[in-house]
Structures are given as structure tokens and as C-alpha cells.
Amino acid sequence: MVQLTFGARMRLSPFHAQAMRAGLSHASVYNHMVLPVAYGDALAEYWRLINDCALWDVGVERQVEIVGPDAFALVQRLCSRDLTKLAVGKGKYVALCDHDGTLINDPVLLKLADDRFWLSIADSDILFWARAVAGERGYDVQVFEPDVSPLAVQGPKAEDVVASLFGEDIRALKSFWFTETHLDGIPLVLARSGWSKQGGFELYLTDGSHGDALWQNMMEAGRPFNIGPGAPNAIERIESGLLSYGSDTDDATNPFEVRLDRFVSLDTPADYIGKAALQRIAENGPARLQVGLVLDTAPAAATDRKWPISQDGETVGYASSIVHSPRLERSIGIGLVRTDLTEPGTRVVIDSPDGPIPASVADLPFL
Amino acid sequence: MVQLTFGARMRLSPFHAQAMRAGLSHASVYNHMVLPVAYGDALAEYWRLINDCALWDVGVERQVEIVGPDAFALVQRLCSRDLTKLAVGKGKYVALCDHDGTLINDPVLLKLADDRFWLSIADSDILFWARAVAGERGYDVQVFEPDVSPLAVQGPKAEDVVASLFGEDIRALKSFWFTETHLDGIPLVLARSGWSKQGGFELYLTDGSHGDALWQNMMEAGRPFNIGPGAPNAIERIESGLLSYGSDTDDATNPFEVRLDRFVSLDTPADYIGKAALQRIAENGPARLQVGLVLDTAPAAATDRKWPISQDGETVGYASSIVHSPRLERSIGIGLVRTDLTEPGTRVVIDSPDGPIPASVADLPFL
């Protein structure tokens, strides 16, 4: 057991004090910030997400704000998806690639105005990436990290919680759309989004000084709906086949390998970094593909570390996360394997530190 | 107490298994990897560094390798220091800034050949920054993270340990110079460097499969010199006034604010990102300056979190790390304050969560 040292280098979200008070037991680090992982009862937290609703401190999901006359030009240059039809008030899941077509982040892009965007990023320094491109191309934009920290409420009852606070009209908000609003003077952007398939909302707090108040308001409103603390859930995200950038990817992963084909625009005039490389990869086909894995036996310890996958003694990929699924009552995982091994039922071996574990390839998502 | 979750997103150094076996008790995350912080007895680890020698797993100190015909052009574009006279076999401490002159990393640059360099980086994704600049400018270079993981031996007896393994000639290696060598078939780059002022070496292991062997060799050779496990030491680095990028800096810190003036070349033809902005800042003078702080009383808990500094009720900066110095027998810290408050002895107040603590400004380094 290793204790996490909260150094000055590591920033805390506006919800951190409340997370500690709620009994935070496990944490990780994400975008140089403390990311809550568990509150002492991982299984209860899983079922809370599946059956009721959970409140997640996802303040680590930093925003890269891009504003100014060339804001759209820069955003389009960064994203491998044609953004010409994106409406104000809507978000889009996008892939960011480098010049070789390698995935470097998979944010949600929010269009706040024609000349103002947020990239709501996964765990890599896209602030610097965007600034480098803007600076070297001489774009007339400002690129900065605003005081914005998302708090997520996820689960089948999340909508009830949000409706009880923001009114019944919020039920009509479509997936990935957002609205600028406030709660007892707390300014926020309310979006129907979140990193689970159980439904829910993200409340982008736009003034960090209200972190305690927003958390407490949500917990209070959620009480009739069995709300409790939780965090982005490793089990549910694998069951649901959600991509975890950095976990499921490496320094050579392109979007086609990890099922992001439909977020890559190859045949539109939109020009962006990596387009030529992605066109070449699409033409030749990717070298690996992401699959589900169903293990014959459970590993000695459930793990979300990367383990090699082999077939007939030859390494053919790796499993990026293995968990026990309470709903499937099986050990399952996500892997990146050679493209000829993606047929469901294909037999492979996962080389765990405690010995080989036979497994079958499966379609994603599991549920 | 919060336990660190080792997710698949978080990479482990080749020395990690040995660090665990040595009793790793506290860790942080740095460049998306687990950074060992302590082994259960912080004070013993401090004195080991001051009096004898300590072995540090600093595999988190990733290398960004830049190689190819335009390698020098890219490296010079990235670094705010004139590099025309840098010799092969030598390292230089450099500042990397964005187009506004804001510090984004403070690596050691190693020149391995005229067309091959390593940036041995602090905690930000300089791999992406360098790739963005290379890609957008069309430089003919490869930019990648090689299989290189530093293991540091630091302390007054570190040279004895290294000489016992690599021969007496190594004592002649000057500061920041390095040599490509091997140890019982383990390939490495051996440099006189390290993030302490107690002297020592960094062994850049260039084949991660030898992590166990290198650690064990060093521990064995170090036994007569009282070697033991350790980590970059928060107390010693503050006593010695070493910069911690990300701890002592924020999103607006320029090199002049944190005593890096002599690593910024303003009057040479060398062109680099941020030069115009840095020239402007140098002309007007920086808004803040880094100082030492001596506290009248110890905080309730020694801390390395950022706390506001005030004078007459007005916020004038922040303390980025506060520790108890066993050698000075005082609570000391590093802060970034308004430039009119840098005179040693200037009285300020550090606003800790447990109440205000009067303190005096002091020169850096303390020792």
C-alpha cells in the first residue's frame, strides 16, 4: 500500500475538501491534479452508479479555453472531426492527433460562442499543444485554462436530482448539449454528458470558490435518490466499452485502432493536424484493434495494469484493464490486439504476473 | 490518508519492483508515472542524503529524444539559452518557454551527437510540445520517448560508489558532463548531475529490462558507503534553493521570476520561442521574484502545498513549499512574492489553513 503525497506540484479541485470529508480512500493523478478513485467500498460505489446515482469530483477534467478571431481555425486545426456544423450550446466528442495520426487526447469540445470553445480534456497537456500550434501559426487567439471544474452526477436517477434543482425543463436537454445557468448564485455550465453509460450530467463550475456549496447542494438534492460519493468507475467503463486515453492507448495508437473511426473526417475539406497520416492509415487499415476480453479464470488480483496478450507463444497485443464485472459475473477486460484476432470467440492468453490466463475475444461494449 | 491507485494509465519505472521491495511508503505521480517519495522514515532518508548516499528511482525523469538533420534547429527553437557552443557529451540546464515567455519546463539538455539530443524533462508533456513545433514548422526530425530511465545516486559518498563500479577515472567527470558506458552488460549513460546539492550521478539506463540488475548492483556497491533508498528530497531541495517546476511555478511564471536569468540568452542571435516576450519582460522587470522564507513558528503540519503570503492584509504572493529543516532547525519555505518585498528580513504573513504564521524573507539558497 503506497500513500499518495499531495505535493505543491499537484493541484486540488474545488471539491477536494468535500471528497476528503466523504471518506476518500483511493486516488490517482490526472492532469497534475488529485483524481478521486474510491471511497472505501468499491462495490457499493459500482452499484450506486448502476442503480441510483453517484456524485463524482471530476475537477481534473480541465478545460482548455480558446477564444478570439482565429478560435475556430485553431480548434479545427486540432480536431480530426469536421466541426463546420457544430452549433453554439453543443458539445462533440473529438479525437486530437499529432502529425503522425497518433492519438494525443480525446476531449469533449464545447462551443460556447462562435469565437469561444472549451476542450474538456483527458490526461495530457493539451494546453501546451494548443499553444504551440497557435503560436507557431500566428493565430490571433488566447489559449488558457479557465477557472472551470466539472462535478458529475451519473446514474439512472441523476436526471431526477438535476431536475429537482434546475427544473423539469432540463429533462429535454439532449445528449452533449449544454446550457449556461446558475444555482443559488453558483455559476455553471450544465451539460448532459459524463464518462459512463448510465446517463447523467456534468456541472461545469465556473467559479471555484463555490466548490463546497455546489457539492453540498447536490448531495442534499440527491438524498431522496440514494446519491453518494463515487468516481469514474473502472468496472462500468469497461462493461460499457468507454475509451480511457492513456490506459487503452500508447505512444503509437491511432483513432482507428480504438473504435473512433466515426470521429475522424477524412472526406471533408476540413484540414487538421494528422489528416494525411490518418488517410494513409485508413487506406492500409490499422495494425491493431481494440476488443473485449472474457477471462476463463479471475486473476489473483483484479487489476487495471497493462498485461501482454499472446497466442501460440507469440505476443499479439496487450490487455489494458481487467476487472471483475458484478453484472456479468466474469472477469473482463479491454485489449488492443492484432487485427486478425478480433473475431468474437478467438482464443488468446493473457500473461499475468501470476501466470497465463486463457481468455476469449469479445465484442465491445459488453453491456 | 489516501492510497495511490496504480492504474493502467500510470506507467511504472524499470526500478519500480525494487522500490516496492525496499519498502516504498509514499509516492507521487510525475510525467504519468509513479514517483517514489519516501520509504517510511523521511528523516533517516534526509540524513542519508546529507551524510552518506541515497539511491533514487527517478525513472519519471523522461527523455524527449530529438534526432535528425534539423535536430539542432528544433532544440534551439525550444530552449531559451544559446546552444551554439554546447559540446557533445555535455548537458546544460535549460528553460523552455511558451510564446508569452511563460516557463513550461526546465529540463537538462544532453547533446549525444551533433544531430541527437535528449531533453531530460520535469513534469509536463514536452514530447507533445516538441512534436507540435516540429510538425508545424516542417522540421526534418524524429521526436520520441526512448527507453531511457534515470537512476540517481546522490550524497557526499555517491562518487565513491560510482568509482567503485566504473573506475577511479570517473572522479574527473565534470558537472553536467556524461559518458556512454555499461556495467556488466547493462547499457547506460553516466552523468554527473542530479536534483540535489549534495553531489552525485545519474545513471540513464538505456534498456529497461535491466532495471532490477542496475538497482541491485548499485545497492551492493553502495553498502560500504551506507547507501539506502531515497527520493528527490523536499527538505534538501528547499535548503539548497533548487527550483521545482510546477511546485514553485504557475501558469504565469517566467524564468526571471524564479532566478533563471542566467539561462536566458537575450543578446545572442539564437532565436527561440518566447524570445521577444522575454526581452520585453527583462526590459520592464518581472512582477514577482522567488525568495526564501523563514517562519516564526512551525505550521501544524509541515506541508508542501501552496499557501498565500500577505502583508498588511494584502495578498502579495504564495509560499510553494514549507518544510522543517533539520540542519537549520527552523521551518523554511520557498515563495514567489511582489518584487518590492525581496529584501532579506522583510516581514510577511503566511496564511496557513490553521491560521497566519509570521515569517521573514530570506536569500536563497539557505545552505
A103 vs B339: CA distance, rounded Å = 43
Q: Does A301 score more than 90 pLDDT? A: no
Contacts 24+ apart (CB under 8 A), B112-117: B112/B88, B112/B180, B112/B189, B113/B88, B114/B72, B114/B88, B115/B67, B115/B68, B115/B69, B115/B71, B115/B72, B116/B65, B116/B66, B116/B67, B116/B71, B117/B65, B117/B66, B117/B67, B117/B71, B117/B72, B117/B75
B179 vs A152: CA distance, rounded Å = 51
Residue of A221, A183, A175, A219 lying closest to A201 (CA atoms) = A175
A304-319 average pLDDT score? 93
- pLDDT tens-digit series, residues B35-69: 999 999 999 999 999 999 999 999 999 999 999 99
Distance from the A27 Cα atom to the nearest Cα atom in chain B, whole angstroms: 5
The pLDDT of residue B306 is: 87
Among A125, A136, A144, the residue with its CB nearest the CB of B128 is A125
A307 vs A305: CA distance, rounded Å = 6
How far is C-alpha A362 from the chain's CA centre? Answer: 22
A313 vs B180: CA distance, rounded Å = 35
Distance from the A20 Cα atom to the nearest Cα atom in chain B, whole angstroms: 9
B4 vs B27: CA distance, rounded Å = 7
The pLDDT of residue A300 is: 83
Q: B133 and A132: CB-CB below 8 Å?
A: yes
Mean pLDDT value across chain A: 97
Q: How many other β-carbons are positioned within 10 Å of the β-carbon of residue A117?
A: 25
The pLDDT of residue B29 is: 97
Q: Which residues of B touch A144 (CB under 8 A)?
A: 251
Q: Are B263 and B255 in contact (CB under 8 A)?
A: yes
How sure is the predictor about A302, in pLDDT bands with cuts at 50, 70 and 90? low
Among A123, A129, A306, the residue with its CB nearest the CB of B132 is A129
B96 vs B77: CA distance, rounded Å = 9
A210 vs B282: CA distance, rounded Å = 38
* Portion of chain A with pLDDT greater than 70, in percent: 99
The pLDDT of residue A7 is: 85
Q: Is A27 on the interface with B (CB under 8 A)?
A: yes
The pLDDT of residue B302 is: 67
Which grid coordinates belong to B47?
540524513
Q: Is B168 on the interface with A (CB under 8 A)?
A: no
Q: Is B347 on the interface with A (CB under 8 A)?
A: no
A188 strand-pairing partners: A181, A205
Q: Is B244 on the interface with A (CB under 8 A)?
A: yes
Q: Are A61 and A109 in contact (CB under 8 A)?
A: no
* Portion of chain A with pLDDT greater than 90, in percent: 96
Q: How many other β-carbons are positioned within 10 Å of the β-carbon of residue A280?
A: 11
SS3 of residue A257 by DSSP: helix
A89-107 average pLDDT score? 98
Q: Does A80 score more than 80 pLDDT? A: yes
Size (chain A), residues:
367
The pLDDT of residue B91 is: 97
Sites in chain B below the pLDDT cut of 70: 302, 304
ipTM of the complex: 0.96
CA distance from start to end of chain A: 32
Distance from the B34 Cα atom to the nearest Cα atom in chain A, whole angstroms: 10
Q: Is A123 on the interface with B (CB under 8 A)?
A: yes
Q: A10 and B29: CB-CB below 8 Å?
A: yes
A126-140 average pLDDT score? 98
- Distances in Å between the Cα of B84 and the Cα atoms of A331, B13, B126, B163 are 57, 33, 22, 32
The pLDDT of residue B353 is: 87
Which residues 295-324 on chain A approach chain B with CB closer than 8 angstroms?
304-306, 320-321
Measured in degrees and rounded to the nearest 5, phi and psi for residue B187 equal -80, 135
Q: What is the per-residue burial (b if ≥16 Cβ within 10 Å, else e) of A175-189? A: ebbbeeeebeebebb
**CA nearest A122 in B: which residue?**
B9
Among B2, B132, B134, the residue with its CB nearest the CB of A25 is B2
Q: Is B1 on the interface with A (CB under 8 A)?
A: yes
Which residues 216-235 on chain A approach chain B with CB closer than 8 angstroms?
234
Q: Is B132 on the interface with A (CB under 8 A)?
A: yes
Alpha helices in A178-333 (DSSP H): 211-222, 234-239, 275-284
Distance from the A310 Cα atom to the nearest Cα atom in chain B, whole angstroms: 19
Q: Is A57 on the interface with B (CB under 8 A)?
A: no
Q: Are A36 and A57 in contact (CB under 8 A)?
A: yes
How far is C-alpha A12 from the chain's CA centre? Answer: 19
- Of A353 and A27, the structure prediction assigns the larger pLDDT to A27
Q: Is B280 on the interface with A (CB under 8 A)?
A: no
- pLDDT tens-digit series, residues A218-242: 999 999 999 999 999 999 999 999 9
B127 vs A330: CA distance, rounded Å = 39
**CA nearest B246 in A: which residue?**
A9
Residue of B156, B222, B214 lying closest to B187 (CA atoms) = B214
Q: Which residues of B touch A38 (CB under 8 A)?
A: 5
Residue A85 CB partners (closer than 8 Å, separation 6+): none
**CA nearest A7 in B: which residue?**
B304
Q: B4 and A28: CB-CB below 8 Å?
A: yes
Q: Is B273 on the interface with A (CB under 8 A)?
A: yes
